[in-house]
Amino acid sequence: MKVKSLCSLIAVFGLLSFSTTHAQQKALKNGIWRGVFTVGEIEVPFNFEVKNGAGKEPVLTALNGDRRDDFQAKFISADSIQVSLNTFETAWFAKIENDGSISGVQRSLIPGNNGRILPFKAVAGKSYRFVEPGKEVAPKANLSGKWWVKIKPDADASGKPAPDRVAVFEQKGNKLNGIILSVSGDSRELEGNVQGDEFFLSGVTGSSPAYVKGKINSDNSISGSIGASAHPIVFEGVKDDKAALPDAYALTFLKPGYEKLDFTFPDLNGKPVSLSDEKYKGKVVVIEIMGSWCPNCIDQITFLSPWYKANKSKGVEAIALAFEAKDDLTFAKNALTKLKNRYDIQYDILFAGKTGGNVVAEKLPAIDKFLAFPTTIIVGRDGKVKEIHTGFSGKGTGQFYDDYVKKWNADLAKLINEPLP
């Protein structure tokens, strides 16, 4: 897209409030849509469903494999909409064209954030992802199963090894669903196609669009890239039913000499809260290091929030330590209150500061080798740290998620049944 036209889009869609005019108001067509983000030279397709678009405030549901994410839209003028992407402080600003299609941009809502502005277009009535019906090419192979995904080069500029990843694919004919796991979490559900000896996957769940491009090699291994940036992550992959990530409970620790963790951070009203407060003494405490901007943190919340409500009467507490995009309590309160309300979070949420750099190590000096958002710390009734779990694998990872839940329930049940110190 030319710079001039992009600037025009930003000028049109950058205004957050308009006087809504219902006279001659255009409507979004109900049903399945196909959109395309333009990210540099790459087109990243996505699909969504519109409901109640006929003159009402529509709901757009992103479709990615079996995953569904609902986004609330509102008219900001007679022919323009703003689609809030849930808790990610990001939105689509789009114009409804005369032919019923929409065109616009995705951009950050964070004041002062001049990050990527992604233009997109979308049309109703098209449900395919990458390959139009009738233009399919027979797949060279069936990719269903687990894959070791080895990142290239093997080490970064500092010599630090590049950690392997695991991909789980499910292929039916030309259609391909998948998810890629790393020690920090997963890609969320991806959807795409296999076309001859090539495959493509994409996903849009509220954060930045995900994109994977790959090739099936002559020995049935795969190679390709992850990401739509100018410098994507390059990988090679081999099928292996035993593919698994390193033990997530053996990556982050307390430093030698530490058995306990302590901190004091403000809650959303600015009141200092400490792990040493009377509220937490003698309790099993789940501490979640997270951020409202983090997709895997959101997935972890969808597990922890209902679990906490079901178990809080058993002497359990939970604390979310939120590292946000700005070092500003007012900003953090706005973002985290939306998160709290959307997922009915009934445990304490504390503002720990701005994310980035070594801030977690600075704010929590007892922790050694912090690697990922989210990281979960389990404290026993005696106040000592019992486990630290790095990352989170969501429901879309299948057996990986099931194994996590099974171990979680067993470990927490044991800690809950311990006598008060």
- The CATH number of the domain holding residue 369 is 3.40.30.10
**Whole-prediction pTM:** 0.91
Confidence of residue 25 (pLDDT cuts 50, 70, 90): confident
**134 domain-assigned:** no
At which residue do the structure tokens 């996903």 appear?
203
3-state secondary structure of 307: helix
Is the torsion defined by CA of 88, 395, 131, 39 positive or negative?
positive
Asked if residue 132 is part of any domain, the answer here is no
Q: Which domain holds residue 175?
A: 145-239
Q: What is the 3-state secondary structure (H, E, C) of 20-53?
A: CCCCCCCCCCCEEEEEEEEECCEEEEEEEEEECC
pLDDT band at 113 (very low <50, low <70, confident <90, very high): confident
Summarize pLDDT for 232-276 with one digit per residue, the tens. 999 999 999 999 999 999 999 999 999 999 999 999 999 999 999
- In this structure, the answer to whether residues 111 and 165 fall within a common structural domain is no
Mean pLDDT score, 50-69: 88
Same domain, residue pair 314 and 383: yes
pLDDT exceeds cutoff 70 at 23: no
Whether 202 and 270 map to the same domain: the answer is no
Calculate what percentage of the chain has a pLDDT beyond 70.
92
Question: What CATH number is attached to the domain comprising 150?
Answer: 2.40.128.20
Residue 267 and residue 230 share a domain: no
Structural domain total, the chain: 3
Alpha carbons 101 and 97: distance in angstroms, whole number: 5
Q: Let me know whether 404 and 279 are in one domain.
A: yes
Of 59, 93, 124, which residue constitutes the final position of a domain?
Answer: 124
Same-domain pairing of 10 and 120: yes
Distances (CA, A) of 293 to 15, 73, 205, 335: 22, 20, 12, 9
Q: Are 205 and 284 in contact (CB under 8 A)?
A: no
Least confident of 7-11, 309-313, 363-367: 7-11
Query: Residue 200 pLDDT more than 50?
Result: yes
Residue 280 lies in a domain: yes
Categorize the per-residue pLDDT at 421 as very low, low, confident or very high, splitting at 50, 70 and 90. Answer: confident
Q: Is residue 131 part of a domain?
A: no
pLDDT of 420 reads 85
How much of the chain, in percent, has pLDDT values that exceed 90?
Answer: 86
Among 239, 271, 302, give the residue marking a domain's end: 239
* pLDDT tens, position by position, 325-353: 999 999 999 999 999 999 999 999 999 99
185 within a domain of the structure (yes/no): yes
Q: Hey, what amino acid is at 288? A: E
